[in-house]
Structure 1
């Protein structure tokens, strides 16, 4: 399946977004619906314009459906584009550059700089420019594909009707054959701690701090916690993450990878208190915050004082005021909408995808679900192998994995073997003086089928959607160019008794890239390590 991110990049390369790069003023408006007494007739109405929603809306229009997308915010793109994936990656990238220049890294490479200063305002401006360009790009795609955008809070007011309510109270009714709920998720609140997005912030507030805090405490050392904590630690803050679990990186990460990841982050100056719970937070008269903590199993209390408290304990499905109760659609114990394999709720023409249904809350998972769900409406096949949905942590080094961890395989009683290779033994990594990390591949002992792939490394590592459906006979077609970090992938494969004298080159035939799923494992390497 072609990723919509690639479609987007392709459009950009062909000049479709040339006006966006010079600012939004040059882009003509999406067919934004004005509010009137007359209802709109639609084949498909999508509620929400995040990665799942906007992709589904465009795909529906391309399949010939008359499509409407209802979005409560002024800008398209949902959490991901506005206050999530996109702005966080901008800050992660730029903070890494600053950290390299400000620390000893550049000097050790013979790059001497007399003075390095942080212009946080300029850094935030660059982040905002990227966000505006990308949200404007979605508006352009809506116009190009004739998707009608209705700005307002969407509520299902009948099994074939959606009512959008704008901020001024005016409404627009959409009569529709099918409804697709793609409303995403919201920050999970911490009991007893009120977020003000000033000094006690969620991930949203952490993306727009006006100055670098002297001390920051992060509640949660999962994906979001370590990413945003890493940003501010690189920019000069003293950052401590408090995590209830005994490891960093969140659910699903392989424990060996997690331990190495934690060691590297600690070497950079990131502090962790694991197996520890936060019991409360008090804002003092001087503006600082006292955070009370104790061992997860109970014990002596401790207080950490900070300037900014970042709450990152996860996200929950956003289904507020959608009209589900009135329709008789009950949520599961975790607040998600139950759906069948075709993403249908108990009402067959009302569908749901993304963060509001079961599965990992990931943008690329929502994208694929959106496309496949709409194709199913048109009579196509509907199938996603959730074992092949990748997870990535965009710190430095980055972490990525797909499939099972060692712990999961042990729990399931599956016999397996392990292939590992450290980047410290890789020629390109040594040349770049960036040797932290490793590649770890888990294979079924009896069949050699790859059950899990885990990478901790110094590049934008992977997009391994289909990377684990592979055996050694496929792996022998995989050849890795000399002096690229990709070389590390062949050695753990060899340790799994798979062939290792293989390369994916720039001239790799299309047939090979399709038949060799490990090709996808490395399809988003940084330009200097690109295929």
Structure 2
């Protein structure tokens, strides 16, 4: 039978259990708040279940196979056999372990977990429709609410994800076999990461991008090694092309594009599947924000202040729904700050040192200002670089493409930012992020003794290069 509505109350209602929501719920629980966390699908959200974690698992697995099969110069001769089904089982096991961990952590911090979909019915009231047939609904009265509903892939005209040959990133990561051919629409970080995965699985990959380069938004010298490596895997690129639609063919489908330039022609690309990876949009249409008086901008994002508050002081928004950059770690920090502000703690957000990473080959990591951004902000930048081809540790791994770059203020030496393209860039960027956050100087980084031989020495060497006394590379 259908259970009727019941009424409950809570100090903090968190809607969405992704990296922003579950972190907010746990932190609020630690601060002695009565917390109710509502999730309609899976704990950990898109990032843990369908994005960050499964993609990195498959990137690692396919990378292991590719390296083993291409290590002749190290004296290793192998021809790995890939079982995509078994690879998916391993990936799913990683995801399951982490989702169970999130659930256990929430319960250990006295968070009340509710499975269902929540929507506002007033400024201090929400209705939760429970998951499962006949499970009914409840009305939750709250003192504070945190909206953490995340984002979904953008669907472009002519490419419905409901059509079997058309994939979004979630569907692509769940495939139990690799297609013979794949067209990827979009050369952003999702498109480029998955291009590498499928190319290493033996798929004939073609990337279509409406702009003129891969990884728009990243500096050209960071993106260039990524494109070069992708081409070495057999990935074919078509820039200045917008995908317009597809049709079935005898052997699969044909993807049609229009050219951006007047002198160029559109394309008709034969393929088995097409993956659309043109970006993500906030999920704000499921929670009835107007019922609570919460405003959104013209793109659907929820504007917030430096304490993650919306235009309603008692309602907060964190994660992708709160706007760019749409990064899991940014959402987690916002969730933590929101919980602390609700509990009366003196917390605030500082976005100057939010790192970003692209898990391509080679990886990219950035934090703080670029050289151009430093100049635009009125600084006279001091720049230091160190190439991985001069790194002993990089040479012993066989991965020498790329460099570390530090950007500092020439007047006082404070580190303003950094960019890394190369092996383990996603890890190396953390040291530069710490330098920005703590207002360290180039001298501080250069004088810190780093373990030898390690990739992290490259950060020290870049700092020494900025100061004009690098040992293992020519000074600028």
- TM-score normalised over the length of structure 1: 0.83
* Structure 1 residue 304, shift from structure 2 partner: 1.4
1:266-277 to structure 2, matched below 5 A, reads: 266-274=231-239, 276-277=240-241
Contact 1:278 1:291 in 2 (8 A): no
The residue aligned with 1:490 is 460
Q: Which moved more, 1:426-435 or 1:284-293?
A: 284-293
- Structure 2 unaligned segments of length 5 or more: list them: 472-476
Q: Distance in 2 between matches of 1:419 and 1:351?
A: 40
Q: 1:258 to 1:327 in 2, by over 3 A?
A: same
Residues paired across the two proteins, number: 462
Q: Secondary structure, in 3 states, of the residue corresponding to 2:126?
A: strand
* Structure 1 residue 419, shift from structure 2 partner: 1.2
Q: Secondary structure, in 3 states, of the residue corresponding to 2:228?
A: helix
- TM-score normalised over the length of structure 2: 0.92
Q: Which moved more, 1:390-399 or 1:208-217?
A: 208-217
Please point out which of 86, 99, 106 is paired with 1:122: 86
Please point out which of 375, 380, 383 is paired with 1:418: 383
Q: Distance in 2 between matches of 1:301 and 1:201?
A: 22
1:513-528 to structure 2, matched below 5 A, reads: none
Please point out which of 57, 60, 63 is paired with 1:93: 60
Q: Does 1:70 align with 2:38?
A: yes
The residue aligned with 1:196 is 162
Q: Distance in 1 between matches of 2:296 and 2:225?
A: 39
The residue aligned with 1:180 is 146
Q: Secondary structure, in 3 states, of the residue corresponding to 2:340?
A: helix
Q: 1:413 to 1:243 in 2, by over 3 A?
A: farther
Q: Does 1:152 align with 2:116?
A: yes
Q: Does 1:340 align with 2:305?
A: yes
The residue aligned with 2:474 is none
Q: Distance in 2 between matches of 1:246 and 1:295?
A: 11
Q: Distance in 2 between matches of 1:197 and 1:78?
A: 24
Contact 1:493 1:499 in 2 (8 A): no
Q: Which moved more, 1:431-440 or 1:276-285?
A: 276-285
Q: Secondary structure, in 3 states, of the residue corresponding to 2:456?
A: helix
- Deviation sequence 1:84-125 (CA, Å, 0-9, x none): 1111111000000111123x22x3222233x42111100000
Q: Distance in 2 between matches of 1:258 and 1:409?
A: 20
1:283-298 to structure 2, matched below 5 A, reads: 283-286=247-250, 288-298=252-262
Q: Does 1:58 align with 2:26?
A: yes
* Structure 1 residue 416, shift from structure 2 partner: 1.5
Q: Distance in 2 between matches of 1:159 and 1:411?
A: 42
Contact 2:435 2:445 in 1 (8 A): no
* Structure 1 residue 437, shift from structure 2 partner: 1.6
Q: 1:413 to 1:136 in 2, by over 3 A?
A: same
- Deviation sequence 1:443-472 (CA, Å, 0-9, x none): 222222222211111225335243323213
* Structure 1 residue 144, shift from structure 2 partner: 1.0
Larger relative CO (CA 8 A, sep 6+): 1 or 2? Answer: 2
Please point out which of 284, 287, 303 is paired with 2:268: 303
- Deviation sequence 1:322-356 (CA, Å, 0-9, x none): 12123332311221112222222222211111111
Q: 1:338 to 1:451 in 2, by over 3 A?
A: same
Q: Distance in 1 between matches of 2:306 and 2:169?
A: 32
Contact 2:88 2:176 in 1 (8 A): no
Q: Distance in 2 between matches of 1:411 and 1:247?
A: 23
- Structure 1 unaligned segments of length 5 or more: list them: 1-33, 502-531
Q: Distance in 1 between matches of 2:400 and 2:429?
A: 21
The residue aligned with 2:137 is 171
Contact 1:76 1:138 in 2 (8 A): yes
Q: Which moved more, 1:470-479 or 1:157-166?
A: 470-479
* Structure 1 residue 389, shift from structure 2 partner: 0.4
The residue aligned with 2:197 is 231
- Deviation sequence 1:288-326 (CA, Å, 0-9, x none): 221222432343222111111110000011001312123
Q: Distance in 2 between matches of 1:69 and 1:214?
A: 42
* Structure 1 residue 433, shift from structure 2 partner: 2.3
Q: Does 1:142 align with 2:110?
A: no
Contact 2:383 2:408 in 1 (8 A): yes
Q: Secondary structure, in 3 states, of the residue corresponding to 1:269?
A: coil
Q: Distance in 1 between matches of 2:27 and 2:466?
A: 40
Q: Distance in 2 between matches of 1:366 and 1:171?
A: 28
Q: 1:366 to 1:287 in 2, by over 3 A?
A: farther
- Deviation sequence 1:244-301 (CA, Å, 0-9, x none): 22222242x2221112322232223222222x22242223143622122243234322
Please point out which of 16, 20, 36 is paired with 1:48: 16
* CA root-mean-square deviation: 2.1
